[in-house]
Structure 1
Protein backbone atom coordinates (compact mmCIF):
# COMPACT_ATOMS: atom_id res chain seq x y z
CA UNK A 1 0.00 0.00 0.00
CA UNK A 2 2.85 2.34 0.71
CA UNK A 3 4.11 1.78 -2.86
CA UNK A 4 0.72 2.77 -4.34
CA UNK A 5 0.56 5.94 -2.22
CA UNK A 6 4.02 7.05 -3.46
CA UNK A 7 3.40 6.18 -7.11
CA UNK A 8 1.59 9.45 -8.11
CA UNK A 9 4.42 11.54 -6.63
CA UNK A 10 7.02 9.46 -8.50
CA UNK A 11 5.14 9.85 -11.80
CA UNK A 12 4.83 13.60 -11.22
CA UNK A 13 8.56 13.95 -10.62
CA UNK A 14 9.38 11.92 -13.70
CA UNK A 15 6.98 13.95 -15.84
CA UNK A 16 8.44 17.22 -14.56
CA UNK A 17 11.95 16.01 -15.28
CA UNK A 18 11.03 15.11 -18.87
CA UNK A 19 9.28 18.42 -19.33
CA UNK A 20 12.34 20.32 -18.14
CA UNK A 21 14.61 18.39 -20.46
CA UNK A 22 12.40 18.78 -23.54
CA UNK A 23 13.60 22.25 -24.58
CA UNK A 24 17.22 21.11 -24.40
CA UNK A 25 16.42 18.17 -26.65
CA UNK A 26 14.74 20.47 -29.14
CA UNK A 27 17.70 22.87 -28.95
CA UNK A 28 20.18 20.05 -29.59
CA UNK A 29 18.17 18.84 -32.56
CA UNK A 30 17.95 22.34 -33.93
CA UNK A 31 21.73 22.84 -33.59
CA UNK A 32 22.37 19.51 -35.30
CA UNK A 33 20.13 20.51 -38.17
CA UNK A 34 21.68 23.96 -38.49
CA UNK A 35 25.29 22.77 -38.69
CA UNK A 36 24.98 20.98 -42.07
CA UNK A 37 23.05 23.97 -43.43
CA UNK A 38 25.82 26.37 -42.37
CA UNK A 39 28.46 24.11 -43.95
CA UNK A 40 26.43 23.95 -47.16
CA UNK A 41 26.10 27.73 -47.30
CA UNK A 42 29.83 28.17 -46.68
CA UNK A 43 30.61 25.75 -49.53
CA UNK A 44 28.27 27.68 -51.84
CA UNK A 45 30.04 30.94 -51.02
CA UNK A 46 33.49 29.42 -51.57
CA UNK A 47 32.33 28.03 -54.92
CA UNK A 48 31.02 31.45 -55.99
CA UNK A 49 34.31 33.07 -55.02
CA UNK A 50 36.02 30.93 -57.66
CA UNK A 51 33.24 31.13 -60.26
CA UNK A 52 32.22 27.52 -59.63
CA UNK A 53 28.98 25.79 -58.80
CA UNK A 54 28.53 23.53 -55.79
CA UNK A 55 28.98 20.38 -57.86
CA UNK A 56 32.35 21.60 -59.13
CA UNK A 57 33.36 22.64 -55.62
CA UNK A 58 32.49 19.16 -54.31
CA UNK A 59 34.58 17.57 -57.07
CA UNK A 60 37.52 19.83 -56.13
CA UNK A 61 37.22 18.81 -52.46
CA UNK A 62 37.11 15.16 -53.49
CA UNK A 63 40.20 15.57 -55.67
CA UNK A 64 42.11 17.12 -52.76
CA UNK A 65 41.42 13.97 -50.73
CA UNK A 66 43.34 11.93 -53.30
CA UNK A 67 46.86 11.93 -54.77
CA UNK A 68 46.54 15.49 -56.07
CA UNK A 69 46.06 16.80 -52.55
CA UNK A 70 49.16 14.92 -51.40
CA UNK A 71 51.40 16.15 -54.21
CA UNK A 72 49.98 19.70 -54.28
CA UNK A 73 48.25 20.43 -50.96
CA UNK A 74 47.97 24.20 -51.62
CA UNK A 75 46.81 24.09 -55.23
CA UNK A 76 43.91 26.40 -56.09
CA UNK A 77 40.52 25.01 -57.18
CA UNK A 78 40.71 26.14 -60.82
CA UNK A 79 44.15 24.63 -61.38
CA UNK A 80 43.12 21.41 -59.65
CA UNK A 81 39.98 21.03 -61.73
CA UNK A 82 41.86 21.97 -64.89
CA UNK A 83 44.60 19.40 -64.29
CA UNK A 84 42.03 16.69 -63.59
CA UNK A 85 39.67 17.79 -66.39
CA UNK A 86 37.69 14.98 -67.95
CA UNK A 87 37.54 16.51 -71.44
CA UNK A 88 39.20 19.17 -73.59
CA UNK A 89 36.11 21.32 -73.26
CA UNK A 90 36.22 21.12 -69.47
CA UNK A 91 39.95 21.89 -69.45
CA UNK A 92 39.39 24.98 -71.62
CA UNK A 93 36.55 26.09 -69.35
CA UNK A 94 38.75 26.11 -66.25
CA UNK A 95 41.63 27.73 -68.15
CA UNK A 96 39.36 30.63 -69.10
CA UNK A 97 38.08 30.95 -65.54
CA UNK A 98 41.65 31.05 -64.25
CA UNK A 99 42.77 33.69 -66.75
CA UNK A 100 39.85 35.90 -65.69
CA UNK A 101 40.55 35.33 -61.99
CA UNK A 102 44.27 36.03 -62.42
CA UNK A 103 43.59 39.22 -64.36
CA UNK A 104 41.30 40.41 -61.58
CA UNK A 105 43.88 39.50 -58.92
CA UNK A 106 46.68 41.34 -60.74
CA UNK A 107 44.51 44.42 -61.23
CA UNK A 108 43.79 44.55 -57.52
CA UNK A 109 47.47 44.05 -56.76
CA UNK A 110 48.49 46.85 -59.13
CA UNK A 111 45.82 49.19 -57.77
CA UNK A 112 47.21 48.68 -54.29
CA UNK A 113 50.79 49.03 -55.54
CA UNK A 114 49.90 52.37 -57.14
CA UNK A 115 48.35 53.52 -53.88
CA UNK A 116 51.48 52.35 -52.03
CA UNK A 117 53.75 54.21 -54.47
CA UNK A 118 51.70 57.39 -54.03
CA UNK A 119 51.81 57.08 -50.25
CA UNK A 120 55.57 56.51 -50.29
CA UNK A 121 56.12 59.56 -52.44
CA UNK A 122 54.01 61.70 -50.10
CA UNK A 123 55.47 60.42 -46.84
CA UNK A 124 59.04 59.37 -47.64
CA UNK A 125 60.02 60.87 -50.97
CA UNK A 126 63.61 61.26 -49.79
CA UNK A 127 64.02 57.66 -48.65
CA UNK A 128 64.93 54.70 -50.88
CA UNK A 129 62.98 51.48 -50.97
CA UNK A 130 65.58 49.14 -52.41
CA UNK A 131 69.22 50.24 -52.52
CA UNK A 132 72.62 48.63 -52.39
CA UNK A 133 74.26 48.55 -48.95
CA UNK A 134 76.93 51.12 -49.90
CA UNK A 135 74.86 53.25 -52.25
CA UNK A 136 74.06 55.91 -49.66
CA UNK A 137 71.00 58.17 -50.12
CA UNK A 138 69.29 56.93 -53.26
CA UNK A 139 66.56 57.80 -55.69
CA UNK A 140 63.18 56.46 -54.57
CA UNK A 141 62.08 54.14 -57.38
CA UNK A 142 58.63 54.52 -58.84
CA UNK A 143 56.71 53.18 -61.80
CA UNK A 144 58.46 54.19 -65.01
CA UNK A 145 56.62 57.15 -66.52
CA UNK A 146 56.46 58.47 -70.05
CA UNK A 147 59.87 60.08 -69.70
CA UNK A 148 61.80 57.94 -72.14
CA UNK A 149 63.39 55.73 -69.45
CA UNK A 150 63.28 52.07 -70.42
CA UNK A 151 62.21 49.45 -67.91
CA UNK A 152 64.16 46.21 -67.74
CA UNK A 153 62.24 43.20 -66.43
CA UNK A 154 64.49 40.42 -65.15
CA UNK A 155 64.46 37.34 -62.95
CA UNK A 156 67.03 35.61 -60.82
CA UNK A 157 69.09 32.67 -62.10
CA UNK A 158 68.89 34.13 -65.62
CA UNK A 159 72.30 34.78 -67.24
CA UNK A 160 70.65 36.61 -70.15
CA UNK A 161 68.94 38.93 -67.65
CA UNK A 162 72.26 39.68 -65.95
CA UNK A 163 73.85 40.45 -69.31
CA UNK A 164 71.01 42.75 -70.37
CA UNK A 165 71.31 44.78 -67.15
CA UNK A 166 75.06 45.14 -67.51
CA UNK A 167 74.77 46.13 -71.18
CA UNK A 168 72.33 48.93 -70.36
CA UNK A 169 74.55 50.06 -67.49
CA UNK A 170 77.68 50.03 -69.70
CA UNK A 171 75.87 52.09 -72.33
CA UNK A 172 75.34 54.81 -69.75
CA UNK A 173 71.58 54.52 -70.04
CA UNK A 174 69.20 55.61 -67.30
CA UNK A 175 66.81 52.74 -66.69
CA UNK A 176 64.63 51.03 -64.10
CA UNK A 177 65.07 47.37 -63.18
CA UNK A 178 62.07 45.30 -62.08
CA UNK A 179 62.84 41.89 -60.57
CA UNK A 180 59.90 39.61 -61.30
CA UNK A 181 60.59 36.83 -58.78
CA UNK A 182 61.87 38.96 -55.89
CA UNK A 183 59.15 37.82 -53.50
CA UNK A 184 59.01 41.42 -52.18
CA UNK A 185 62.34 40.68 -50.49
CA UNK A 186 64.72 43.65 -50.62
CA UNK A 187 67.67 41.47 -49.63
CA UNK A 188 67.21 39.28 -52.71
CA UNK A 189 67.32 42.29 -55.04
CA UNK A 190 70.39 43.68 -53.30
CA UNK A 191 72.15 40.31 -53.50
CA UNK A 192 71.32 39.97 -57.19
CA UNK A 193 72.48 43.50 -58.02
CA UNK A 194 75.74 43.10 -56.12
CA UNK A 195 76.40 39.69 -57.65
CA UNK A 196 76.11 40.86 -61.26
CA UNK A 197 77.90 44.18 -60.70
CA UNK A 198 75.30 46.96 -60.64
CA UNK A 199 77.19 50.17 -59.74
CA UNK A 200 76.04 51.55 -56.34
CA UNK A 201 76.95 55.06 -57.54
CA UNK A 202 74.41 54.76 -60.36
CA UNK A 203 71.77 53.63 -57.88
CA UNK A 204 72.69 56.52 -55.60
CA UNK A 205 72.24 59.04 -58.40
CA UNK A 206 68.99 57.51 -59.61
CA UNK A 207 70.42 56.59 -62.99
CA UNK A 208 69.51 52.98 -62.19
CA UNK A 209 66.65 52.01 -59.88
CA UNK A 210 65.95 48.61 -58.34
CA UNK A 211 62.31 47.65 -57.93
CA UNK A 212 60.02 44.78 -57.05
CA UNK A 213 57.94 43.84 -60.08
CA UNK A 214 54.72 43.40 -58.00
CA UNK A 215 52.79 42.03 -60.98
CA UNK A 216 53.70 44.75 -63.47
CA UNK A 217 55.17 42.37 -66.05
CA UNK A 218 52.02 40.27 -66.14
CA UNK A 219 49.86 43.39 -66.42
CA UNK A 220 51.70 44.53 -69.56
CA UNK A 221 50.55 41.42 -71.41
CA UNK A 222 53.67 41.34 -73.61
CA UNK A 223 54.85 38.14 -75.22
CA UNK A 224 58.25 36.53 -74.94
CA UNK A 225 60.51 35.47 -72.13
CA UNK A 226 62.71 37.55 -69.85
CA UNK A 227 64.79 39.65 -69.98
CA UNK A 228 62.58 42.28 -71.54
CA UNK A 229 63.34 45.94 -72.19
CA UNK A 230 60.11 47.91 -72.54
CA UNK A 231 59.33 51.55 -73.10
CA UNK A 232 56.16 53.60 -73.06
CA UNK A 233 55.51 54.98 -76.55
CA UNK A 234 52.40 57.01 -77.23
CA UNK A 235 50.81 55.78 -74.02
CA UNK A 236 51.43 52.13 -74.93
CA UNK A 237 54.11 49.84 -73.51
CA UNK A 238 56.22 48.29 -76.26
CA UNK A 239 58.96 45.71 -76.07
CA UNK A 240 62.28 46.95 -77.41
CA UNK A 241 64.63 44.81 -79.52
Structure 2
Protein backbone atom coordinates (compact mmCIF):
# COMPACT_ATOMS: atom_id res chain seq x y z
CA UNK A 1 0.00 0.00 0.00
CA UNK A 2 2.80 2.42 0.96
CA UNK A 3 4.66 1.51 -2.21
CA UNK A 4 1.55 2.23 -4.25
CA UNK A 5 1.09 5.65 -2.60
CA UNK A 6 4.77 6.52 -3.19
CA UNK A 7 4.46 5.69 -6.85
CA UNK A 8 1.44 8.00 -7.08
CA UNK A 9 3.29 10.80 -5.28
CA UNK A 10 6.22 10.81 -7.68
CA UNK A 11 4.31 12.37 -10.64
CA UNK A 12 2.83 15.01 -8.33
CA UNK A 13 6.30 15.80 -6.98
CA UNK A 14 7.66 16.09 -10.51
CA UNK A 15 4.87 18.48 -11.45
CA UNK A 16 5.55 20.59 -8.36
CA UNK A 17 9.27 20.72 -9.11
CA UNK A 18 8.57 21.66 -12.74
CA UNK A 19 6.16 24.39 -11.67
CA UNK A 20 8.73 25.76 -9.24
CA UNK A 21 11.36 25.80 -11.98
CA UNK A 22 9.00 27.60 -14.37
CA UNK A 23 8.13 30.19 -11.73
CA UNK A 24 11.82 30.72 -11.03
CA UNK A 25 12.58 31.09 -14.73
CA UNK A 26 9.75 33.57 -15.21
CA UNK A 27 10.95 35.58 -12.23
CA UNK A 28 14.50 35.60 -13.57
CA UNK A 29 13.32 36.72 -16.99
CA UNK A 30 11.17 39.45 -15.47
CA UNK A 31 14.10 40.57 -13.38
CA UNK A 32 16.30 40.53 -16.45
CA UNK A 33 13.81 42.62 -18.41
CA UNK A 34 13.55 45.08 -15.53
CA UNK A 35 17.33 45.30 -15.36
CA UNK A 36 17.51 45.79 -19.12
CA UNK A 37 14.83 48.52 -18.98
CA UNK A 38 16.72 50.19 -16.16
CA UNK A 39 19.96 50.12 -18.15
CA UNK A 40 18.22 51.58 -21.24
CA UNK A 41 16.61 54.28 -19.13
CA UNK A 42 19.96 55.14 -17.56
CA UNK A 43 21.64 55.25 -20.96
CA UNK A 44 18.87 57.46 -22.35
CA UNK A 45 19.08 59.80 -19.37
CA UNK A 46 22.87 59.93 -19.80
CA UNK A 47 22.52 60.80 -23.49
CA UNK A 48 19.98 63.51 -22.71
CA UNK A 49 22.25 64.93 -20.02
CA UNK A 50 25.21 65.02 -22.36
CA UNK A 51 23.06 66.54 -25.08
CA UNK A 52 21.86 69.37 -22.82
CA UNK A 53 25.40 69.93 -21.64
CA UNK A 54 26.66 70.17 -25.21
CA UNK A 55 23.81 72.46 -26.23
CA UNK A 56 24.57 74.75 -23.32
CA UNK A 57 28.22 74.91 -24.39
CA UNK A 58 27.21 75.66 -27.98
CA UNK A 59 25.41 78.78 -26.77
CA UNK A 60 28.12 79.72 -24.28
CA UNK A 61 25.78 78.99 -21.39
CA UNK A 62 26.27 77.35 -18.03
CA UNK A 63 24.32 74.26 -16.97
CA UNK A 64 22.06 76.26 -14.67
CA UNK A 65 21.33 78.71 -17.53
CA UNK A 66 20.20 75.85 -19.75
CA UNK A 67 18.05 74.40 -16.98
CA UNK A 68 16.34 77.78 -16.58
CA UNK A 69 15.82 78.02 -20.34
CA UNK A 70 14.14 74.59 -20.28
CA UNK A 71 11.96 75.82 -17.46
CA UNK A 72 11.01 78.99 -19.36
CA UNK A 73 10.00 76.89 -22.35
CA UNK A 74 7.39 75.20 -20.17
CA UNK A 75 5.85 78.52 -19.11
CA UNK A 76 4.06 81.44 -20.83
CA UNK A 77 7.18 82.46 -22.80
CA UNK A 78 7.29 79.03 -24.43
CA UNK A 79 3.63 79.38 -25.41
CA UNK A 80 3.86 82.91 -26.81
CA UNK A 81 7.30 82.47 -28.42
CA UNK A 82 7.96 78.71 -28.84
CA UNK A 83 10.86 79.15 -31.27
CA UNK A 84 12.77 81.76 -29.29
CA UNK A 85 16.50 81.05 -29.07
CA UNK A 86 18.01 80.44 -25.60
CA UNK A 87 19.93 83.71 -25.36
CA UNK A 88 16.94 85.87 -26.28
CA UNK A 89 14.65 83.92 -23.96
CA UNK A 90 17.03 84.19 -21.03
CA UNK A 91 17.71 87.86 -21.77
CA UNK A 92 14.01 88.73 -21.84
CA UNK A 93 13.43 86.88 -18.58
CA UNK A 94 16.64 88.11 -16.91
CA UNK A 95 16.39 88.53 -13.15
CA UNK A 96 18.89 91.36 -12.87
CA UNK A 97 20.65 94.01 -14.94
CA UNK A 98 23.92 92.09 -14.74
CA UNK A 99 22.25 88.91 -16.00
CA UNK A 100 20.55 90.81 -18.82
CA UNK A 101 23.86 92.39 -19.82
CA UNK A 102 25.62 89.00 -19.82
CA UNK A 103 23.06 87.38 -22.12
CA UNK A 104 23.09 90.42 -24.43
CA UNK A 105 26.86 90.18 -24.79
CA UNK A 106 26.68 86.44 -25.43
CA UNK A 107 24.08 87.01 -28.13
CA UNK A 108 26.10 89.74 -29.84
CA UNK A 109 29.13 87.44 -29.97
CA UNK A 110 27.06 84.49 -31.21
CA UNK A 111 25.40 86.52 -33.97
CA UNK A 112 28.72 88.01 -35.02
CA UNK A 113 30.18 84.52 -35.40
CA UNK A 114 27.12 83.32 -37.34
CA UNK A 115 27.14 86.29 -39.72
CA UNK A 116 30.87 85.90 -40.42
CA UNK A 117 30.34 82.24 -41.28
CA UNK A 118 27.40 83.08 -43.55
CA UNK A 119 29.32 85.80 -45.34
CA UNK A 120 32.30 83.49 -45.85
CA UNK A 121 30.02 80.88 -47.36
CA UNK A 122 28.26 83.51 -49.49
CA UNK A 123 31.61 84.55 -50.95
CA UNK A 124 32.43 80.92 -51.74
CA UNK A 125 28.97 80.54 -53.31
CA UNK A 126 29.46 83.63 -55.48
CA UNK A 127 32.83 82.37 -56.68
CA UNK A 128 31.37 78.95 -57.49
CA UNK A 129 28.53 80.61 -59.41
CA UNK A 130 30.96 82.63 -61.52
CA UNK A 131 32.88 79.46 -62.40
CA UNK A 132 29.89 77.23 -63.14
CA UNK A 133 27.29 79.64 -64.56
CA UNK A 134 29.06 82.79 -65.77
CA UNK A 135 26.16 83.75 -68.05
CA UNK A 136 23.34 83.42 -65.49
CA UNK A 137 22.34 86.02 -62.91
CA UNK A 138 22.76 84.67 -59.38
CA UNK A 139 19.80 84.82 -57.03
CA UNK A 140 20.75 85.61 -53.45
CA UNK A 141 20.65 82.61 -51.11
CA UNK A 142 18.13 82.64 -48.29
CA UNK A 143 19.32 82.39 -44.72
CA UNK A 144 17.86 79.12 -43.39
CA UNK A 145 17.71 80.53 -39.85
CA UNK A 146 15.25 83.32 -40.52
CA UNK A 147 14.36 83.08 -44.23
CA UNK A 148 16.04 86.44 -44.84
CA UNK A 149 18.29 87.07 -47.82
CA UNK A 150 21.90 88.03 -47.36
CA UNK A 151 22.43 90.97 -47.28
CA UNK A 152 19.28 91.71 -45.29
CA UNK A 153 17.12 94.81 -45.62
CA UNK A 154 18.00 97.15 -42.82
CA UNK A 155 21.71 97.21 -43.54
CA UNK A 156 21.56 100.85 -44.69
CA UNK A 157 21.19 100.07 -48.39
CA UNK A 158 18.18 100.84 -50.48
CA UNK A 159 15.67 98.01 -50.83
CA UNK A 160 13.42 97.90 -53.88
CA UNK A 161 10.31 95.73 -53.77
CA UNK A 162 8.82 94.95 -57.18
CA UNK A 163 6.49 92.48 -58.82
CA UNK A 164 6.41 90.80 -62.21
CA UNK A 165 4.49 92.43 -65.10
CA UNK A 166 4.78 95.88 -63.50
CA UNK A 167 5.79 98.69 -65.88
CA UNK A 168 6.39 101.16 -63.05
CA UNK A 169 8.66 98.62 -61.37
CA UNK A 170 10.73 98.23 -64.52
CA UNK A 171 11.09 101.99 -64.85
CA UNK A 172 12.21 102.30 -61.23
CA UNK A 173 14.94 99.70 -61.79
CA UNK A 174 16.19 101.50 -64.90
CA UNK A 175 16.26 104.80 -63.01
CA UNK A 176 18.31 103.34 -60.16
CA UNK A 177 20.75 101.72 -62.57
CA UNK A 178 21.17 104.97 -64.48
CA UNK A 179 22.22 106.77 -61.28
CA UNK A 180 24.61 103.97 -60.28
CA UNK A 181 22.72 103.27 -57.05
CA UNK A 182 23.41 100.15 -55.04
CA UNK A 183 20.28 98.36 -53.89
CA UNK A 184 18.76 95.04 -52.88
CA UNK A 185 15.90 94.02 -55.14
CA UNK A 186 13.04 91.80 -53.94
CA UNK A 187 10.38 90.29 -56.18
CA UNK A 188 7.05 89.94 -54.39
CA UNK A 189 5.02 86.88 -55.40
CA UNK A 190 7.91 85.07 -57.09
CA UNK A 191 7.07 81.78 -55.34
CA UNK A 192 10.84 81.24 -54.92
CA UNK A 193 11.09 80.54 -58.66
CA UNK A 194 14.68 81.39 -59.63
CA UNK A 195 13.99 81.03 -63.36
CA UNK A 196 11.13 83.52 -63.21
CA UNK A 197 13.27 86.02 -61.30
CA UNK A 198 16.16 85.72 -63.77
CA UNK A 199 13.90 86.08 -66.79
CA UNK A 200 12.45 89.24 -65.32
CA UNK A 201 15.95 90.60 -64.68
CA UNK A 202 16.90 89.88 -68.29
CA UNK A 203 13.75 91.60 -69.61
CA UNK A 204 14.56 94.82 -67.74
CA UNK A 205 18.24 94.56 -68.68
CA UNK A 206 19.47 94.38 -65.08
CA UNK A 207 23.25 94.81 -65.21
CA UNK A 208 24.76 91.30 -64.77
CA UNK A 209 28.08 92.72 -63.64
CA UNK A 210 26.41 94.76 -60.88
CA UNK A 211 24.65 91.61 -59.70
CA UNK A 212 27.81 89.50 -59.75
CA UNK A 213 29.68 92.18 -57.82
CA UNK A 214 26.73 92.43 -55.40
CA UNK A 215 26.23 96.14 -55.94
CA UNK A 216 22.73 94.95 -56.78
CA UNK A 217 21.29 91.78 -55.24
CA UNK A 218 18.45 89.79 -56.74
CA UNK A 219 16.17 88.19 -54.15
CA UNK A 220 12.86 86.47 -53.57
CA UNK A 221 10.67 88.51 -51.25
CA UNK A 222 9.67 85.46 -49.14
CA UNK A 223 7.02 87.49 -47.29
CA UNK A 224 9.34 90.31 -46.24
CA UNK A 225 7.35 93.10 -47.92
CA UNK A 226 4.22 92.38 -45.90
CA UNK A 227 6.28 92.29 -42.69
CA UNK A 228 7.70 95.82 -43.15
CA UNK A 229 4.34 97.53 -42.65
CA UNK A 230 4.96 100.17 -45.34
CA UNK A 231 1.78 101.54 -46.92
CA UNK A 232 1.28 101.97 -50.66
CA UNK A 233 1.63 100.00 -53.86
CA UNK A 234 4.63 98.53 -55.63
CA UNK A 235 7.22 99.43 -56.66
CA UNK A 236 8.44 100.50 -53.24
CA UNK A 237 11.90 101.94 -52.78
CA UNK A 238 12.56 101.96 -49.04
CA UNK A 239 15.34 102.41 -46.53
CA UNK A 240 15.45 101.81 -42.79
CA UNK A 241 15.89 105.05 -40.87
CA UNK A 242 16.15 104.92 -37.06
CA UNK A 243 14.42 101.57 -36.99
CA UNK A 244 11.56 102.64 -39.25
CA UNK A 245 11.11 101.78 -42.92
CA UNK A 246 10.52 104.83 -45.08
CA UNK A 247 9.80 105.27 -48.78
CA UNK A 248 12.51 107.10 -50.67
Is 1:66 matched with 2:75? yes
Larger radius of gyration: 2
Q: Tell me which of 80, 85, 93 is aligned to 2:89.
A: 80
Q: Tell me which of 153, 158, 181 is aligned to 1:154.
A: 158
Deviations 1:154-190 (A, max 9, x none): 2367xxxxxxxx69946943343235999x9578xx6
Structure 2: distance between partners of 1:65 and 1:122: 50
Structure 1: distance between partners of 2:92 and 2:45: 30
Q: How much does 1:9 deviate?
A: 3.0
Is 1:43 matched with 2:52? yes
Q: Which 5+ residue runs of structure 1 have no aligned equivalent?
A: 131-142, 144-150, 158-165, 214-224, 229-241
Q: Secondary structure at the match of 2:157?
A: strand
Deviations 1:33-83 (A, max 9, x none): 222222111111111111111211111111121111122111111001001
Q: Tell me which of 205, 216, 222 is aligned to 1:210.
A: 216
Aligned-residue RMSD, C-alpha:
4.1
Q: Secondary structure at the match of 1:178?
A: strand
Structure 2: distance between partners of 1:181 and 1:97: 35
Is the Cα contact below 8 Å between 1:178 and 1:210 reproduced in 2?
Answer: yes
**Bigger shift: residues 55-64 or 14-23:** 14-23
Q: TM-score, normalised by structure 1?
A: 0.61
Q: TM-score, normalised by structure 2?
A: 0.59
Corresponding pairs, count: 183
Q: Which 5+ residue runs of structure 2 have no aligned equivalent?
A: 140-150, 162-171, 220-237, 242-248
